[in-house]
């Protein structure tokens, strides 16, 4: 057998070549959320809605988004998403959507929905892979001209392949982006379906108006808040979040001349005093050029940077919804009797600021005998799949809800009439996979989620306890009402007196003295006689 003679190193070497990232993702499309037709349909909608919301927010426009999903043959759908965002400049359109790993958000330390420059182009990649058809892109920046593209992606090169292109001077006032594509997919109405997804988007983005037209009709999600959350700011990396390898690279490419200025310029939260302190701790001359530092010295500097006490990174790079907005979001979509929300102060994970907030809707029309519904949001984006692996689910299961008034068996999702929403906000949310459906359960993040849930739990418990206290008081009154005639009778018999007046006196004790009947439920007190 010829094949049984092994290849030599030389033969093997000749076979090697570079792979385009688009080829990689085409083959590994499950990494982008295109595992199966059902999930793929949701992923396309999700990526495009995320892009629309991000763009509108960045342009400080209250978002209004139209989503259409219409069947077009068996397992085929036409998906259209249109927004009122800033639109794209004509020549940017092919690059922004026709090239993977191309974007603006990757390099910035700031909170946003998409981050990797894969979302939109990934959808187009999936569309052409499953239908062979180009995607239609229509955009205007509000300059009375509208760009029309039909486009595909050249997978071998990771470059846009423009099928047709025209600019219409149509005088339209509209600005925004409209994306229309045909894909292979499957539509479901269940918990992991598009309607539920859009409902969660509406809850998590109460400042957005969304109209969804699906195969089974139209749903409108009105706006509940008329202002956008503040725009998050970009920040410099925080020294505690930088890794040794990254530090080395930064030192090589910095424009700063000295170690000291490198640290004050290229990092947040290092003043010149701190810079000198770090250098002293590392035993390094602060005036030396960053490019000149030896590997060992870099390591010393790195360790000193970790050791020194620093102010936490600036947190205006984060824009949580805030307690009020979360409650409004829940209220407009859910009928419940009690709402509460908690926004934790920002925290830091690997030098990346992040913030946890959560909210609960309780009681009312929510079903009492099922596991609570969990709405997971990451930078305002609902997470639908991989629920079990997600830090949020794990934190909810790992919290003792029995003490807060929900049922729970062991470490599982509690049961009760509640919806709990948890929102993680960060410049860099660590996901378990590129399909961005589950937050990785790092200890720092788990801890914050749990603290927020505990605070939320206490709010809930307060509410439930109040309700229970009233019920208890009522029950106590009933108990005494039931026992008093018996006691009066017995005391009457023992003392040879009529029972009626004794009963009246007993009743008057209750009336005068209601605190008596809400007395503690303690065991009998023990003391010494006499």
Report the sign of the C-alpha dihedral through residues 51, 79, 118, 96, in that order.
negative
**Is the Cβ of residue 383 or residue 418 nearer to a second copy in the bound state?**
383
- Choosing from 12, 19, 89, 490, the residue that interacts with another protein (CB under 8 A) is 490
Which tokens in the block code for residue 424?
A: 């993680």
CB of 490 to another protein, least distance (A): 4
Q: Which does 483 bind (CB under 5 to 8 A by kind): another protein, a second copy, none?
A: another protein
> 457 Cβ partners below 8 Å, 6+ apart?
399, 401, 403, 404
CA 133, CA 181: separation in Å to the nearest integer?
Answer: 8
526's contact among another protein, a second copy, none, with CB below 5 to 8 A by partner kind, is another protein
Q: How many residues bind another protein (CB under 8 A)?
A: 39
Q: Which helix (H) or strand (E) holds 506?
A: helix 499-512
The binder of 365, among a second copy, another protein, none, by C-beta within 5 to 8 A per type, is none
Q: Which stretch binds another protein (CB under 8 A): 181-189, 296-304, 333-341, 473-481?
A: 473-481
The piece of 51-59, 283-291, 371-379, 482-490 that touches another protein (CB under 8 A) is 482-490
Binding of residue 470 to another protein (CB under 8 A) = no
DSSP 242-282: --HHHHHHHHHH---SSHHHHHHHHSSS--HHHHHHHHHHH
Do 204 and 420 meet the contact criterion of CB atoms below 8 Å apart? no
Residues making up the chain, counted from first to last: 530
Is 482 one of the binding residues for another protein (CB under 8 A)? yes
Q: From the list a second copy, another protein, none, pick the one residue 525 interacts with, judged by a Cβ distance below 5 to 8 Å according to partner type.
A: another protein
> Which of a second copy, another protein, none does residue 89 bind (CB under 5 to 8 Å by kind)?
a second copy
Distance, CA of 299 to CA of 184 (rounded, Å): 51
Interacting partner of 168 out of a second copy, another protein, none (Cβ under 5 to 8 A depending on kind): none
Q: What SS3 class is residue 385? A: coil
Near another protein by CB under 8 A: residue from 468, 486, 498, 500: 486
DSSP letter at 453 equals: H
273 contact, one of a second copy, another protein, none, CB 5-8 Å limit per kind? none
- What is the C-alpha to C-alpha distance for residues 459 and 487, in angstroms, rounded to an integer? 41
- Residue 217 CA: distances (Å) to CA of 69, 129, 264: 10, 28, 57
Among 30, 108, 331, 476, binds another protein (CB under 8 A): 476
Q: 155 vs 284, which CB is nearer to a second copy?
A: 155
Considering beta carbons, is residue 99 or 373 the nearer one to a second copy? 99
Q: What one-character-per-residue DSSP string does 454-478 give?
A: HHHHHHHHHHHHHHHHHHHHHHHHH
Binding partner of residue 17 among a second copy, another protein, none, CB cut-off 5 to 8 Å per kind:
a second copy
**363 with 372: CB under 8 angstroms?**
no
Query: What is the smallest separation between the CB atom of 490 and a second copy, expressed in angstroms?
Result: 54
> At its nearest, how many Å lie between a second copy and the CB of residue 479?
42
Q: Tell me if 338 sits within 8 A of 363, measured CB to CB.
A: yes
Q: How far is the CB of 519 from another protein (least distance, A)?
A: 5
Q: Are 453 and 376 in contact (CB under 8 A)?
A: no
Give residues 499-518 in contact with another protein (rule: CB under 8 A).
Answer: 502, 505-506, 508-510, 512-513, 516-517
Structure-token pair, residue 158? 């990771």
Dist CA 300 CA 341 (whole Å): 44
Adjacent-strand bridge partners of 168: 146
Binding mask 55-94 for another protein (x = CB under 8 A): ----------------------------------------
Residue from the set 12, 84, 497, 498 that interacts with another protein by CB under 8 A? 497
Instruction: Compute the least distance from the CB of residue 101 to a second copy, in Å.
Output: 4
Q: Under a CB-based contact definition with an 8 Å cutoff, are residues 499 and 489 in contact?
A: yes
Q: State yes or no: residue 520 binds another protein (CB under 8 A).
A: yes
**Shortest Å, Cβ 242 to a second copy:** 10
- Tell me the three state secondary structure of residue 88: coil
State which residue, 234 or 481, has the beta carbon closest to another protein: 481
Distance CA 67, CA 49 (A): 8
Q: Which is nearer to another protein, 309 or 521 (CB)?
A: 521
Residues pairing with 315 in the sheet: none
Distance in Å, CB of 451 to a second copy, minimum:
21
- 315-345 burial string, b = 16+ CB within 10 Å, else e? bebbbbbebebbbbbbbebbebebbbbbbbe
Query: Which residue's CB is nearer to a second copy, number 200 or number 437?
Result: 437
Measured from the CB atom, the residue of 125 and 488 that comes closer to another protein is: 488
Binding window for another protein (CB under 8 A); candidates: 172-180, 347-355, 429-437, 471-479: 471-479
List residues near another protein by CB under 8 A: 476, 478-480, 482-483, 485-487, 489-491, 493-497, 502, 505-506, 508-510, 512-513, 516-517, 519-530
């Amino acid at each position: 057998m010829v094949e049984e003679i092994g290849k030599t190193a030389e033969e093997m070497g000749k076979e090697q070549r570079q792979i385009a990232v688009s080829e990689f993702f085409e083959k590994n499309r499950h990494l982008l959320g295109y595992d199966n037709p059902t999930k793929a349909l949701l992923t396309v909608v999700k990526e495009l809605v995320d892009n629309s919301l991000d763009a509108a927010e960045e342009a400080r426009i209250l978002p209004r988004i139209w989503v259409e999903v219409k069947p077009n043959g068996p397992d085929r759908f036409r998906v259209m998403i249109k927004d009122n965002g800033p639109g794209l400049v004509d020549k940017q359109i092919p690059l922004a959507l026709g090239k993977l790993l191309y974007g603006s958000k990757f390099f910035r330390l700031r909170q946003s929905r998409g981050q990797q420059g894969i979302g939109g182009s990934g959808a187009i990649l999936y569309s052409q892979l499953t239908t062979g058809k180009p995607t239609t892109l229509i955009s205007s920046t509000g300059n009375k001209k509208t760009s029309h593209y039909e486009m595909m992606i050249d997978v071998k090169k990771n470059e846009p392949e423009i099928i047709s292109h025209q600019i219409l001077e149509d005088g339209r006032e509209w600005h925004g982006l409209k994306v229309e594509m045909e894909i292979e997919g499957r539509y479901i109405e269940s918990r992991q379906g598009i309607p539920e997804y859009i409902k969660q988007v509406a809850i998590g983005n109460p400042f957005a108006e969304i109209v969804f037209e699906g195969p089974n009709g139209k749903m409108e999600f009105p706006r509940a808040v008329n202002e956008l959350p503040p725009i998050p700011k970009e920040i410099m990396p925080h020294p505690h979040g930088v890794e040794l390898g990254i530090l080395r690279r930064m030192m090589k490419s910095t424009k700063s001349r000295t170690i000291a200025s490198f640290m004050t310029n290229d990092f947040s939260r290092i003043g010149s005093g701190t810079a000198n302190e770090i250098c002293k701790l590392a035993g390094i001359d602060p005036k030396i050029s960053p490019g000149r530092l030896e590997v060992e010295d870099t390591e010393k500097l790195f360790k000193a940077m970790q050791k020194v006490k620093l102010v936490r990174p600036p947190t205006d790079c984060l824009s949580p919804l805030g307690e009020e907005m979360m409650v409004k979001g829940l209220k407009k979509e859910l009928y419940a009797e009690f709402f509460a929300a908690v926004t934790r102060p920002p925290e830091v994970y690997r030098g990346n600021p992040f913030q946890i907030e959560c909210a609960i809707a309780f009681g009312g029309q929510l079903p009492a005998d099922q596991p609570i519904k969990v709405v997971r949001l990451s930078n305002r984006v609902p997470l639908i799949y991989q629920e079990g692996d997600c830090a949020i689910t794990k934190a909810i299961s790992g919290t003792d809800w029995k003490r807060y008034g929900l049922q729970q068996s062991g470490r599982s999702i509690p049961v009760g009439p509640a919806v709990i929403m948890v929102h993680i906000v960060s410049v860099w949310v660590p996901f378990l996979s590129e399909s961005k459906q589950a937050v990785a359960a790092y200890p720092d993040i788990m801890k914050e989620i749990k603290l927020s849930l505990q605070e939320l739990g206490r709010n809930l418990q307060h509410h439930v306890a109040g309700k229970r206290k009233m019920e208890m008081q009522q029950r106590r009154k009933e108990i005494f009402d039931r026992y008093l005639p018996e006691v009066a009778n017995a005391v009457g018999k023992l003392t040879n007196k009529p029972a009626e007046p004794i009963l009246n006196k007993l009743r008057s004790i209750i009336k005068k003295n209601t605190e008596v009947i809400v007395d503690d439920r303690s065991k009998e007190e023990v003391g010494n006689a006499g």
